[in-house]
């Protein structure tokens, strides 16, 4: 019968191992507490260790690999069988590259250019030239050239610092970023006066919108959809193929050539199919002018965008207005007219007439030589409002 409870003894090596494990657990707990109390830390599954009980701290300094900046997440990191600190990483460029390539989870990446915040890098990696048809982005050293159709792009400008960004409307992916002085436009200088001229140039080619936080947006007109809420006058502009949001705001904040985008004008921009949205009120009408002579016959078949005109002159045809077509729309600035003869008489005497547009009408005029009496003339017309 034993005198007392048997006690187990541990070898000195075992005690040292237990001690080290306890210290390691305390270091991990300390690092996680720091991560919870300090917003710049993030708790992840990465191994965070320390052999001492003293809590390590982070300076928050950044380092750069390529075009991106990084910050160390953890005070102490076990890497390749050894413990390394933030100071070790900041002092070793090769170690920085290795961590970025193989262990990015222990680092926090700081984006060089934040979308719509325009925290641009001091040196640009490319140049951009904008024309009436497109944009050409040339990489440094002319290693690559990228070409984009202007009406498939979106420009974002901030007046407070002249920051400028170009995006693809379909994806909102960035094509180029810098300041507006670095955007090359033929015939426009790269200074403060040139910046004003560049904005005016973009304004004539693209839709223009403003935001309440100081941004001006120019949107290419291809493949757009508009959603209008009557109760609040809110207008949403989206890319039609994937419903990608591009802009929203009060309808009066969207302009074309400096003119507010009224609902009537948006209907013209959208160019709806005839069978979808051309009610009887949109059918064009026609009236004969003095140049058609006495008792002429005139007719029009079409709408605000295109159609056919027939004029049969009466007697005593003369010069002046041959016919006026009322388009049943009101364009913001005016209309561009294309007139094409469609019968032999109209083709023979085509140089005797010309067509011009107003915001609401198409006017055919006989300027100098009268048309023949009692003769039928037929034309097709196309209208582009602006």
Residue 12: pLDDT over 70 = no
- Do the beta carbons of residue 132 and residue 205 sit within 8 Å? yes
Average pLDDT over residues 56-60: 70
Question: What's the confidence (pLDDT) of residue 22?
Answer: 66
- In 150-269 the beta strands, taken as DSSP E runs, fall at 153-158, 163-168, 174-179, 183-185, 207-210, 215-219, 224-229, 234-239, 244-250, 254-256, 259-260
Query: What is the set of domains in the chain, with CATH numbers?
Result: 21-110 (no CATH), 126-261 (no CATH), 280-385 (2.60.220)
**Short-list 334, 131, 152, 345, CA closest to 239:** 152
Tokens for 353, please give them: 């007439």
Of 10-14, 126-130, 290-294, the poorest mean pLDDT is in 10-14
Rounded Cα distance, 163 and 120, in Å: 8
pLDDT digits (tens, 9 = 90+) for 304-319: 888 899 999 999 999 9
Tokens for 204, please give them: 């004539």
How many beta carbons lie within 10 A of that of residue 296, not counting itself?
A: 21
Residue 32: pLDDT over 60 = no
Residue 31: pLDDT over 60 = no
Rounded Cα distance, 164 and 158, in Å: 7
Residues 6+ apart with CB under 8 A from 37: none
Is 180 in a helix, a strand, or coil? helix
Cα 54 off chain centre by: 51
Average pLDDT over residues 273-291: 63
Please report, for residues 103, 206, 283, the alpha-carbon distance to residue 341 in angstroms, rounded to integers and kept in the order given. 72, 32, 21
pLDDT digits (tens, 9 = 90+) for 111-123: 443 444 443 433 3
Question: What's the confidence (pLDDT) of residue 88?
Answer: 87
Strands 361-366 and 354-357: antiparallel
Question: How much is the mean pLDDT over the chain?
Answer: 78
Identify which of 180-189, 203-212, 225-234, 334-343 has the greatest average pLDDT: 334-343
Residue 21: pLDDT over 50 = yes
Sheet of 335-341: strands edge to edge? 297-302, 306-312, 376-385, 335-341
Query: Which residue did the predictor score with more confidence, 123 or 103?
Result: 103
Is 244 in a helix, a strand, or coil? strand
Stated pTM of the model: 0.42
Q: Determine the straight-line distance between the first and last CA of the chain, rounded to whole angstroms.
A: 110
Average pLDDT over residues 154-171: 90
Residue 42: pLDDT over 80 = no
- The burial class, CB within 10 Å (0-12 / 13-18 / 19+), for 43 is middle
pLDDT digits (tens, 9 = 90+) for 243-281: 888 988 888 888 876 677 666 667 665 543 333 333 334
CA atoms 340, 343, 344, 345: torsion sign: negative
Tokens for 172, please give them: 């909102």
């Amino acid at each position: 019968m034993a005198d007392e409870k048997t006690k187990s003894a541990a070898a000195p090596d075992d005690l040292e191992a237990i001690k080290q494990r306890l210290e390691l657990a305390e270091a991990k707990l300390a690092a996680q507490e720091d991560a919870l109390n300090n917003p710049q830390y993030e708790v992840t599954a990465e191994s965070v260790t320390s052999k001492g009980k003293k809590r390590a701290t982070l300076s928050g300094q950044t380092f750069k690999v390529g075009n991106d900046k990084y910050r160390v997440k953890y005070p102490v990191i076990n890497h390749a069988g050894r413990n390394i600190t933030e100071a070790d990483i900041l002092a070793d460029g090769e170690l920085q590259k290795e961590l970025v390539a193989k262990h990015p989870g222990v680092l926090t990446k700081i984006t060089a250019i934040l979308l719509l915040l325009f925290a641009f890098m001091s040196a640009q990696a490319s140049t951009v030239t904008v024309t009436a048809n497109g944009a050409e982005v040339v990489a440094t050293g002319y290693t690559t050239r990228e070409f984009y159709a202007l009406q498939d792009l979106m420009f974002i400008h901030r007046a407070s610092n002249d920051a400028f960004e170009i995006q693809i409307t379909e994806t909102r992916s960035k094509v180029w970023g810098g300041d507006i002085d670095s955007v090359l436009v033929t015939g426009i200088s790269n200074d403060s006066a040139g910046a004003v001229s560049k904005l005016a140039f973009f304004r004539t080619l693209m839709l223009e919108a403003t935001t309440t936080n100081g941004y001006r947006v120019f949107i290419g007109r291809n493949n757009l959809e508009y959603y209008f809420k009557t109760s609040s006058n809110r207008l949403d502009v989206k890319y039609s193929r994937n419903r990608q949001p591009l802009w929203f705001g009060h309808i009066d904040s969207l302009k074309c050539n400096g003119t507010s985008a009224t609902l009537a004008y948006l209907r013209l921009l959208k160019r709806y199919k005839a069978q979808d949205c051309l009610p009887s009120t949109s059918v064009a009408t026609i009236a004969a002018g003095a140049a058609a002579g006495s008792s002429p016959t005139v007719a029009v078949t079409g709408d605000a965008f295109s159609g056919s005109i027939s004029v049969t002159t009466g007697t005593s045809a003369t010069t002046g207005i041959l016919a006026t077509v009322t388009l049943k729309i009101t364009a913001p600035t005016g209309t561009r007219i294309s007139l094409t003869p469609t019968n032999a008489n109209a083709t023979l005497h085509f140089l005797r007439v010309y067509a011009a547009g107003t915001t609401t009408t198409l006017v055919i005029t006989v300027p100098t030589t009268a048309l023949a009496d009692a003769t039928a003339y037929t034309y097709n017309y196309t209208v582009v409002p602006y």
